[in-house]
Amino acid sequence: MHQVDSMSPQERRASVSLALVFAFRMLGLFMVLPVLATWGQQLQGATPFLIGMAIGAYGLTQAFLQIPFGMLSDRVGRKPVIVFGLLLFAAGGLVAAGADSITQVIAGRVLQGAGAIAAAVMALVADSTREQHRTKAMAMIGMSIGLAFAVAMVAGPVVARMAGLGGVFLSTSALALVGIVLVLLAVPTPQQTQPHRDAGVVRGALWPSLANGQLLRLNYGIACLHAILMATFLAIPLALQQQAGLAKEDHWWVYLAALLLSFFGMVPFIIYAERQRQMKRVMLGAVAVLALVQPLFWLSQHSLPWLVAAIILFFVGFNLLEATLPSLLSKIAPAGGKGTAMGVYSTSQFAGAALGGMFGGWLFAHFGLGGVFVGCALLALSWLIIGGTMREPPYVTSYRLALSPACLDDAALATRLQAVAGVTDVVIVAEEAAAYLKVDAKILDREALNRVAAPV
């Protein structure tokens, strides 16, 4: 029985190797974040606005190409799209590494963002795992992204200290090439490729996702979060160097300490949010932390200990939101619409990153560091107001049920599934021979569900 319920070696191999591919790409994207504001000042033509644009430029192309690349992978296959995207990312890193002007760095970052492979990777995970293990595989990718962000915050300054800004960009290209090797040699090729409504974008579900007010609030939130991240990291490295007197080569230890302490600080809140079903309260609390920490940045610019304390608080709020927002989306998205909702959410995230870099650069150019912190605080407050109007989410999870031909012929199947205790929403997709459900795991009658779906 244990053998049946555990991941097969092939599923485990696919999940781990794809999580690493995702992690290497995100590591490459985020390594630049803590160093570009300080190390990029010597580039020809560098201005605060253009440095801010360079920080968030990858989000421009990522936002536009995220959904199209996912749909393309349905037609031509997952691996070709992923390899092509990683080649674009590697090429963008080489362009930026050889740059002597800020405009060339921006061009490289735009090219890096064009390798928008997230949707294709998620779809390949869905192709490579059985339904009962898909959540575990997706969780591995989620953890790999969080770990990549943490490593990038420390690795960026360390690599810049050893090899300069060009070395950071060369490292991103090398990581992309390692990802390509993993895709070609380590990731198993699935027997068949098909659209998965919980892992990819489906055209028919796109408009309902865009018209859903609750999802729109989350999309606004993730756009704000990454706009604040990009703008803040235009200002924080400069505050550490110019105001608090910490050499740019030594910034790594601040980020390492802040990330470690913030991780332990956020875990109790994640547990409370899920177990006590208080997701909205925890989310709004974390947004309030982001709003309140910005004036603290402003007031503590000249004191390194207070500035480090503020950075720790920022990461507690940021990491808590990074963990809870996808969980909220999974609960709010309609049955069979999770993949599409996640595609729109990711697009919003990258658009926010692009706009946040430019927003932060413009504020810094006109109002200095204080202007950036005030602008980020106002952005967080706008999110707090909009997020406050969100309804408490239903505490349900997505569930995909394979259906036999006999079940598909049952005209009353949807009604009978809906009648099972714990099932709140049902969508039957005949071409996938599957039913997509939203279920409350605490009260779901699994035996009744299996009886209804059993072949006649």
For residue range 239-272, what is the model confidence (pLDDT) as tens digits?
999 888 899 999 999 999 999 999 888 889 989 9
Joined together, the tokens standing for residue 29 give 């994207």
CA dihedral sign, ordered 263, 267, 268, 272: positive
Phi, psi of 144 (to 5 degrees): -65, -35
pLDDT band of 456, cuts 50, 70, 90: low
3-state secondary structure of 191: coil
Domain of 57?
1-197
Rounded mean pLDDT, 171-197: 88
Our CA angle for 147, 149, 150, nearest 5°, is 65
> What size, in residues, is the chain?
456
* pLDDT at 171 (0 to 100): 97
pLDDT of residue 287 exceeding 60, the answer is yes
Q: Provide the whole-model pTM.
A: 0.91
Q: What CATH number has the domain bearing residue 258? A: 1.20.1250.20
**Residue after which a domain boundary falls, among 348, 379, 395:** 395
Rounded mean pLDDT, 346-373: 95
Joined together, the tokens standing for residue 319 give 């990491």
CA gap 449, 439 in Å, rounded? 11
The verdict on 159 and 188 lying in the same domain is yes
pLDDT of residue 4 exceeding 60, the answer is no
**Higher confidence at residue 274 or residue 197?**
274
The verdict on 225 and 367 lying in the same domain is yes
The verdict on 265 and 311 lying in the same domain is yes
Q: Which helix (H) or strand (E) holds 439?
A: strand 434-439
The verdict on 190 and 224 lying in the same domain is no
Phi, psi of 253 (to 5 degrees): -70, -30
The verdict on 291 and 246 lying in the same domain is yes
Number of structural domains the chain divides into: 3
